[in-house]
Amino acid sequence: MPLKNTDPLPGLDSIDWSQLSHAYGSADDVPQLLQDLQSTDPEVYKTAFTKCWSNICHQGSRYSASVEAIPFLYALLENPATKDRESLLYLITSLAIGHPDWSVPNGIDIDNWKKSIAEIEKPEYRYRAI
């Protein structure tokens, strides 16, 4: 009988992370951060989580490394051995949404944004801007 794959992050090494970027440049540190998110040492986990968040979801921004990290974050989330799955879910949600509500004190006025975009798209607006 074949052995079951016990690697919780299969394929992590198949990505050329050095060709990807995050908030602070090259993403070659992301694989180690993702591996450290499996740590049972609270300090190792905390450091990895903080750096991972800051690197791939800095102030709501996402990067090429963010996209590649998501499947591995899901794999960690689905692994019962992962300790702080709630925080991982929050990170994944933040990657999906961008800026959370609390970062925009008065909320986001989507209707006003749509009106502004419609105004900018008018041909006469282009002439005013020149």
pTM of the model: 0.72
Q: What is the pLDDT of residue 101?
A: 62
Q: What is the pLDDT of residue 80?
A: 87
Residue 25 · residue 18 · CB < 8 Å: no
Report the 10 Å Cβ neighbour count for 9: 17
Q: What is the pLDDT of residue 99?
A: 63
pLDDT in tens, 25-61: 999 999 999 999 999 999 999 999 999 999 999 888 8
Residue 130 has pLDDT above 60, yes or no: no
Q: What is the pLDDT of residue 1?
A: 46
pLDDT in tens, 103-129: 666 666 778 777 877 777 777 655 544
Residue 30 · residue 52 · CB < 8 Å: yes
Q: What average pLDDT does the structure give for the chain? A: 85
Summarize the confidence of residues 55-76 as an average pLDDT.
93
Residue 88 · residue 77 · CB < 8 Å: yes
